[in-house]
Chain A
Amino acid sequence: MISLHGVTKIYTVGTQRVAALNGVDLEIADGEFLSIMGPSGSGKSTLMNIIGCLDRQTEGKYILDGLDVSRLGDNQLAIIRNRRLGFVFQSFNLLPRMSAIDQVALPLLYRGASNRKKVAAAALELVGLSDRAHHKPTQLSGGEQQRVAIARALVARPSIILADEPTGALDTKTSMDVMEVFRQLNEEMQMTIAFVTHEHDVAAYTRRIVSLRDGKVVGDRPNVPVYAGRPAAPVEEKEAAP
């Protein structure tokens, strides 16, 4: 459960103060699948960074699972990122020279968990990459890399997975595969997933679309998701793994 009240982020460039976010109010309930849309410079990446606890708002309140994040120190934010948040980036951001399973196990390492390999292997299975566990990023295709990144984001069972243009570096077919993974995670495991995107095709997969412009929320509407170009399948129907 995420709630933002009047979140404002002001950057000072030289003597100029630029508001990247200007009083954003947003609630994300558990189990939601939403996209945050907006043109370049609308502040969606800044919003993403704040929700992701990578950055702090200048003003306003951010409550994550009942916790006032703005009061937390660096170390506590690191713990929040580790336990409650999962990131998927446009450029995958995998560590070079590290096998898929080790990448996925990394958040567990920082959490100090035992049983890491087993949990990581299960996460890789969820994204359909069990057979690629010991491949390194350079040996994986773009879609596979992104799925490793998704596995890494979900391995710690976070409250929310934040995806910043996750299909931005992928072709249409691969994008659809990746979106399919997200859809399954949301539908079958009730994971909360928020996308930042400017692609309507991507947003079309989600159940709610929030529009951002000039640092403000200008639209917030439910969406009937369309999967792989056809209307949403009933929940009970299992999709074949991509």
Chain B
Amino acid sequence: MTLIDVLGTALAALASNVVRTLLTMLGIIIGIAAVITLTAASEGAQRGVGEQIRGLGSNLMFIRPGLEEADGIQLPGSGVNLFLEDSRAIEAADFEYIEAIAAQGTIGGPGDFIFAQAIYQGQNRSTMLLGTEPTYQFVRDFYVESGRFLTEVDLTKKALVVVLGGEVADELFDTEDPVGKTIRIAVGAGPISIGFNFTVIGVMERRGASANTDQDDVIIVPMPSLQARIALVRDPRGRTNIDQINIKLSDRGKADQAKEEIGQLLMALHAVDEPDFRIQTQSDILATATEVERSLQVLVVSIALISLFVGGIGIMNIMLVSVTERTREIGIRKAIGAKRMDILWQFLVESIVVTTAGGALGVLVGIAVTQIAERFAIGGDNAYAVTPLWVMVGFAVAAVTGLVAGVYPAWRASRLDPIEALRHE
């Protein structure tokens, strides 16, 4: 008996009871679809995070205040110990691996209790005010699309000019050209707010939104203007608090050296023994994010595998019932010359065919589910990535499940005594 004959026999048996075959497959279909969908979601999230981090600009290094992410609300200035002066000092140290440096301070970002609101002719939008320097667009690899970016002159004049993020420009101006228009920006907390008029000088290119931040939802102003007009809290020694120093390195390979040397410099400036700031490179951030995603994936995959296991038990159960139900058939087959192995293979292949077909259907269902979820934008754009790896894993697991679940029933069938089996009603 060739494999094709065995396959033909198995297919004929499965086709003769389509409803049962489909019900048997259901567990595997659901299991594999779950594997595909969940891994696609997790893979998509991972990719999204990766893209977002890579999108920050290449060879990027960030310095942030040490207590920036302490839990709960943080008052402006409290525990913040990163200053514009630090940025200047790093610049002055003239490290050969620093290509460019840009300090930034924000108001009205996510989680900030101070709000910033942009108003133009009755349209308004809460957004984030980002004070920075002309080098920002180069360091962050994030350029102006129309009009111009900040210049040194804007800084020295503390000019009341802004560059709008794409999202803000769309919302306030719709199809109108924002460049040259005057908008009002109100900054405040609770019921108290103060407002200033700014002239729009440019609109940034669009970066797109990701899971937790929207780089297009921003208004960029010259750092000194932000400090002067909209009081950024200064510390008692007159230094200016900032949120972040962005550094572009000329050579990614120097990241560790840069971290070490800049760290030493800042510790000396702050007169501390332990860093009261954090230096992160792009790859650090990527590594942390990847780690989180990995553990998420482990969780997701184990849930999916449990559902597959349950499906496998269901198949074994049905195969056992099927052997009992077809005892007479087994007797007849043995009487006309089927060997034990023929019977064993028949039932084993049946089981494997059921699970493999179930696996294939599961893959299709999984892909369909991700497509539907994508269409209805559940979880954001490009939130799902069906990977060939997981399709193959799902398929292989389904086949192995069939093998494992089919072995015992098939063995039982092959051991049946032909005379007993023929008498069976």
**Residue ranges of A at the interface with B (Cβ–Cβ < 8 Å):** 49, 52, 54-55, 74-75, 78-79, 81-83, 87, 89, 93-98, 102, 106-107, 109-112, 152, 156
Contact = CB atoms under 8 A, between A and B. Distances in A.
Main secondary structure of the interface of B (DSSP, over half): helix
Interface residues of B, number: 23
Interface stretch (B106-114, B192-200, B337-345, B400-408): B337-345
Contact of A110 (B1, B328, B331, B418): B1
B336 A110 contact: yes
Given A95-B332, A109-B1, A82 B340 contact: no
B318 to A, nearest CB: 18
Nearest to B340: A74
The 7 closest A-B pairs by CB, nearest first: A82-B337, A97-B16, A78-B339, A110-B337, A107-B336, A81-B337, A93-B332
Interface in B326-364: 328-329, 331-342
B332 A98 contact: no
Contacts of A93: 328, 331-332, 335, 422
B161 to A, nearest CB: 82
Interface of B: 1-2, 5, 9, 12, 16, 328-329, 331-342, 418-419, 422
A81 B336 contact: yes
A106 B336 contact: yes
Contacts of A89: 422
Nearest to B12: A98
Nearest to A153: B336
B83 to A, nearest CB: 84
Contact of A107 (B2, B16, B337, B422): B337
Contacts of A87: 335-336
Contacts of A107: 336-337
Nearest to B17: A97
A49 B334 CA distance: 13
Contacts of B340: 74-75, 78
B418 to A, nearest CB: 5
A81 B2 CA distance: 19
Given A54-B334, A96-B329, A106-B333, 15 more contacts: A54-B418, A54-B419, A74-B339, A75-B340, A78-B337, A78-B339, A81-B337, A89-B422, A93-B328, A93-B335, A95-B333, A110-B336, A110-B337, A110-B338, A110-B342
Contacts of A98: 12
Contacts of A94: 332
